[in-house]
Structure 1
Amino acid sequence: MSKSPEKTTTVISVDQQDDISSINDGTAKLEKRFSLWTTCALQYSLICSPLAIGTFLSTVVGVGGSPVLIYGFILSSTMGLIICCSLAELASAYPHSSAQVYWTYCLAPKAYKRVMSFTAGILSCAGWVFACVSSTYVASMFVVSLAQMYNPDYVPKTWHYYLVYAAVVLSGHLLNVFLVVALPLMTDFLIAIINFATLFVIITLLVKSDPKRTGVFVFKNITNETGWSSDGVVFFLGLLPSIASVCLFDGPAHMTDEIEKPERNIPLVMVISNSVSVIVALFAAIVYMFCIVNVDNLSAPLGGMPIVQLMYDSFNSKALTTVGVLCFIFTFIGSSYLYYCSTSRLIWSFAKSNGLPFGQYFGQISNKLKSPVWALTFVDGISIILGTMIMGSTTALNAVLGSAMVCVNLSYVPPIACLLYNSRFSFSPFVRFHATGDAAPAVLNESKGLPYFSLGKLGMPLNTIAVVWICFIMVWLNFPIYYPVTTDSMNYACVVLGCTLVFAIITWFAYSRKHFDHNTEIKHF
């Protein structure tokens, strides 16, 4: 009789995993300064879903209207949580700050480990950098909208937005480099601001907005101004706000080196923070829809921010609107700082394995500052460069912003698909995570022989749904919203994705093909 999987599997202890997490050139390592709840606060503040969904109201107005936003959010957030749980299980089995890069390397067939892991790394890094640009640009729009509200004759120039944008990037760089010890405190402050802002905006809207919209407007009437004849097409085109409002599920995994017992705590952070985000954001979205006083004003809102216009119209008070806008400004500037933090950890970890050129610099931690200074400089420098598109083509800028969701979601496919392939689509949780073939041994709970966070028999079907859903939404995230399609209305996210892949090919053959390798860390088991 053959031995059971439990008897043949190598179980890695928590102490061994702590050794793995601290590999870092032998010079310095990141300090474990985050707790479970502080990291939950970081992820919740990063995506700030109940406030973020308000920034898409002008998009929703003509692309399906309120029903598409509400029902689309329920669909996309449900699928998003399935993706989140799939990634959380991987984060528990293979805790590492490079997340899907490392997971793919551990699970992919031997002949394809390096190239698949590298591809996941480039997509992930690109998506997070694009997300940095997006969050910072939104923060600059809130600042300009406040100036415009107090100066009705003021017509903002594109370079005004860029100056604010650059100021946010530079201040975030200084904070992440020199005051990294203050990051946990800042996340606590941001949570307080976000909770206050959410309650303030929702309660004030419900009290002050008059007249309110009917249930028919919110839940039934579809508005189609896209030019596409099918409401079904419009429904899927209207998913972008929902997908972008609850996203970046891998964020906590990039903080693996800065939290105790990551194999236990990181999956909990992923599930808890994103589940709370979904619930609160759905409630906020419904309130926003009921409290729209003037739909037409959302098409050309103050400073380009529809949520500011909504508050201005509904509150009927400049003082109350100012309080709301200031909350949004603090939230999105703080969120941008956290984006730089998480992205730099991803770049640092990827470069540490020579996935990027100049890995000897980007993969370093400053002995004095205890921060990945070079990786932060790279992230913020790229953000400053990409931000110059604010002064150029709006179409190109929108393509970069939309590409964040495209690249990050695509980077989730390789590790989940490799887990399915390696386990031969088995329902058995023991087969899924007991090293067979080319897979690396997982970090397992010694008493159960499973990862500390396990989906059990639901793992295979949930993983399958996650991969199919990501492939499905790739079509719509790259689909033109308006018809007929012109050079101005074209969705250029696919072009940005193509450029990202071209960069990946050049980097692979010029450098990474000879140098990229996670194998030294796996051997450390």
Structure 2
Amino acid sequence: MAPRDSRENLEGVVTEVEDQHHVDEKSIEYDPALANAADTQQLASIGYKQELQRHYSSVQVFAIAFSIMGLLPSISATLWFSVPAGPVGMVWGWFSASALIFVVGLAIADLGSSLPTSGGLYWWTHYFAAERYKNPLSFLVGYSNTIGLIGGICSIDYGFASFIVSLGTISSDGEWIPSRGQLYAIFVATVLSHGILASSAGRVMHHLQTWFVVANFVLIIATIIALPVSMRLRNIPINSASYVFSYSINETTWPSGWAFMLSWLSPIWTIGAFDSCVHMSEEAKNPTKAVPIGILASIGGCWIFGFLVTAVLAACAGNNFEEILGTPFGQPIAQIYYNALGKSGALGFMSAISILQFFMGLSIVVAASRQTWAFSRDGALPFSSFLRQISKTFGYQPLRTVWATCLTAIIIGLLSLINNAAANALFSLAAAGNNVAWAIPILCRILWGREKFRPGPFYTGRFSVAISIAALMYLTFSTILCMFPTEGPNPDPSVMNYSAVVNGTVWGGALLYYFLYAHKWFKGPKHTLDIMENEDDI
């Protein structure tokens, strides 16, 4: 048989993926320095050569998602969205939205167990979609997921910068207020430091994730204990259970029902990184099990422990929510700590939160760089041939996409210089981009791919389609919610939600780019196997 180009399109190679879980282990050569034979064969079954080193266990795959979510730092950074609805928004807003996000996680876990690859979302879209739609939809999903993850870098690192300046404000008793330029400078320094660490610590990154999770749980437990104990010792009244679980307010200009819906933005942003497990597929051992375990354990952990944390915060927040929202410290959580623990206690806990937020940023840079690398491997990004190169010197890492994602985040972060509304868009930018990237492959699977789908070790069985439909309904609503300004119904530019502009530009630009130019050469994911050696086996 005549040899084919080793970068030709994947079409015809996978052969409907019907035998993907039963590939002959003798058919593909493998490098034991990168992965074992079974994992190499599994990846080869969908057309890809093993290029990254598999050193993430199931626990470490969970750990990277959970450390990106950074439960307490993320809740702290997004209290702006839930506090205006009062205790009910903080507690039940978290619980209800988390339950729906878990449904989405089930749908993605089905796909991740069946077809684990770093470019999973756009790869699944191309595989399951109807012939006429697969290329443009795959292209759109890849760009939406990429910008969503880069938006995650922006929001996490901007949140870290906000925590850092709040420490200065607390120390000065509210006398020092940072400028937007100072905030942005800290943000840039943070992103650059994450680029350096992600480049140089690749060989130990999987071990670090476990420690990040331990640190998160230690801080969660410390907060749950310290806040009420300190308030008792200082004779500060704690809100009753009926107040925590049934009292609502409305500090927005929207109707009360919509104010509650806006409280969902906190868990939507916090638990929006579970697809990082998918992007780590090609560095995970036994990914057909590790990926779904990581997805569901990280969402479930945030759901349960987040409910506990928000209940404690609502109990210890007092009843003056205007004071919390108008805090001179720049963060509502800082005011809650300050009121309950005093200045020293607030500084201690805010310092700990800041440290964890910093490592959240490091983890999201790692995950975002893998999606960007996978998309460039398939030739979809500008300068793909440059970006897709792997650095063996730095432990088989996609070094160039690490820095490409960091530099893009710095550019998008310029939005924060406009006003508070533009800065808040950094949070909803990530959520909206990822929502679309999750929804489209789920939709393609239930519309066109039911016969093609072959379950992996994790499968929701007869409930799978119903779960997918429920996930799509939630994701549609959630995407619309992410586009709404926090004040209305007639917002002015100072409270406008700029994520609609940024995401709309990305989605519209991606489709325009595809139909004008990219359709000439982008035909979907491309395989990277050595066809000269292996085409008869594939």
Q: State whether TM-score is above 0.5.
A: yes
Does structure 1 conserve the Cα–Cα contact (< 8 Å) formed by 2:139 and 2:380? yes
CA distance 1:135–1:11, shift in 2 (3 Å): closer
Partner AA of 1:495 in structure 2 = V
Q: 1:80-139 deviations in whole A, cap 9, x for unaligned?
A: 001001001101111110121111111111221111111111111111111110000011
Instruction: Report the equivalent of 2:189.
Output: 167
* 1:35 has 2:44 as partner: no
Return the alpha-carbon distance in structure 1 between the equivalents of residues 433 and 471 of structure 2: 15
Offset, 1:460: 0.9
Question: Match for 2:209 among 187, 193, 210?
Answer: 187
Offset, 1:365: 0.9
Partner AA of 2:211 in structure 1 = F
SS of the residue corresponding to residue 224 of structure 1 reads coil
Return the alpha-carbon distance in structure 1 between the equivalents of residues 509 and 521 of structure 2: 17
Instruction: Report the equivalent of 1:489.
Output: 495
Q: Compare 294-303 and 231-240 and name the one that shifted more.
A: 294-303
* 1:48 has 2:74 as partner: no
Instruction: Report the equivalent of 1:140.
Output: 161
Q: 1:278-311 deviations in whole A, cap 9, x for unaligned?
A: 1111100000000013533312335422112211
SS of the residue corresponding to residue 201 of structure 1 reads helix
Percent identity (aligned): 23
CA distance 1:27–1:266, shift in 2 (3 Å): closer
Instruction: Report the equivalent of 1:3.
Output: none
CA distance 1:343–1:142, shift in 2 (3 Å): same
* 1:271 has 2:296 as partner: yes
SS of the residue corresponding to residue 181 of structure 1 reads coil
* 1:97 has 2:118 as partner: yes
CA distance 1:225–1:453, shift in 2 (3 Å): same
Return the alpha-carbon distance in structure 2 between the equivalents of residues 37 and 157 of structure 1: 41
CA distance 1:217–1:145, shift in 2 (3 Å): same
**Aligned pairs, how many?**
494
CA distance 1:28–1:381, shift in 2 (3 Å): farther
Return the alpha-carbon distance in structure 2 between the equivalents of residues 486 and 518 of structure 1: 42
* 1:291 has 2:316 as partner: yes
Instruction: Report the equivalent of 1:454.
Output: 459
Return the alpha-carbon distance in structure 2 between the equivalents of residues 465 and 343 of structure 1: 27
Return the alpha-carbon distance in structure 2 between the equivalents of residues 511 and 23 of structure 1: 30
Offset, 1:509: 4.1
* 1:312 has 2:338 as partner: yes
Return the alpha-carbon distance in structure 1 between the equivalents of residues 20 and 456 of structure 2: 10
* 1:463 has 2:477 as partner: no
Q: 1:316-348 deviations in whole A, cap 9, x for unaligned?
A: 2x3322221121111110000011100000000
Return the alpha-carbon distance in structure 1 between the equivalents of residues 191 and 481 of structure 2: 31
Instruction: Report the equivalent of 1:18.
Output: 40
Instruction: Report the equivalent of 2:510.
Output: 504
CA distance 1:13–1:420, shift in 2 (3 Å): same
Instruction: Report the equivalent of 2:80.
Output: 58
SS of the residue corresponding to residue 248 of structure 1 reads coil
Q: 1:145-182 deviations in whole A, cap 9, x for unaligned?
A: 11221123222122221222122111111111122112
Partner AA of 1:289 in structure 2 = A
Normalised by the length of structure 1, the TM-score is: 0.88
Offset, 1:510: 5.5
Return the alpha-carbon distance in structure 2 between the equivalents of residues 149 and 234 of structure 1: 29
CA distance 1:141–1:219, shift in 2 (3 Å): same
Return the alpha-carbon distance in structure 2 between the equivalents of residues 475 and 328 of structure 1: 30
Does structure 2 conserve the Cα–Cα contact (< 8 Å) formed by 1:410 and 1:470? yes
Return the alpha-carbon distance in structure 2 between the equivalents of residues 516 and 94 of structure 1: 21
Instruction: Report the equivalent of 1:375.
Output: 401
Give the RMSD, CA atoms, in angstroms.
2.4
Q: 1:473-497 deviations in whole A, cap 9, x for unaligned?
A: 2222222332332222222322222
Instruction: Report the equivalent of 2:287.
Output: 262
SS of the residue corresponding to residue 401 of structure 1 reads helix
Q: 1:454-478 deviations in whole A, cap 9, x for unaligned?
A: 0000101101100111112222222
CA distance 1:520–1:299, shift in 2 (3 Å): closer
Return the alpha-carbon distance in structure 2 between the equivalents of residues 361 and 20 of structure 1: 27
Question: Match for 1:124 among 145, 154, 162?
Answer: 145
Offset, 1:243: 1.5
SS of the residue corresponding to residue 280 of structure 2 reads helix
Return the alpha-carbon distance in structure 1 between the equivalents of residues 116 and 265 of structure 2: 30
Return the alpha-carbon distance in structure 1 between the equivalents of residues 122 and 525 of structure 2: 12
Return the alpha-carbon distance in structure 1 between the equivalents of residues 115 and 125 of structure 2: 10
Output aligned runs, 1:210-359, within 5 Å: 210-228=236-254, 230-293=255-318, 294-316=320-342, 318-359=343-384
Return the alpha-carbon distance in structure 2 between the equivalents of residues 124 and 519 of structure 1: 15
SS of the residue corresponding to residue 521 of structure 1 reads coil
SS of the residue corresponding to residue 404 of structure 2 reads helix
Offset, 1:26: 9.8
Offset, 1:144: 1.0
Q: Compare 185-194 and 373-382 and name the one that shifted more.
A: 185-194
Return the alpha-carbon distance in structure 1 between the equivalents of residues 465 and 83 of structure 2: 38
Normalised by the length of structure 2, the TM-score is: 0.86
Does structure 2 conserve the Cα–Cα contact (< 8 Å) formed by 1:28 and 1:366? no
SS of the residue corresponding to residue 217 of structure 2 reads helix
Segments of structure 1 that go 5 or more residues without pairing to the other structure are 1-7, 424-431, 436-440, 443-449
Return the alpha-carbon distance in structure 2 between the equivalents of residues 326 and 87 of structure 1: 35
SS of the residue corresponding to residue 480 of structure 2 reads helix
Return the alpha-carbon distance in structure 2 between the equivalents of residues 348 and 11 of structure 1: 23
Question: Match for 1:88 among 89, 109, 115?
Answer: 109
Offset, 1:391: 2.9
CA distance 1:9–1:351, shift in 2 (3 Å): closer
CA distance 1:117–1:522, shift in 2 (3 Å): farther
Q: 1:425-447 deviations in whole A, cap 9, x for unaligned?
A: xxxxxxx4x53xxxxx74xxxxx
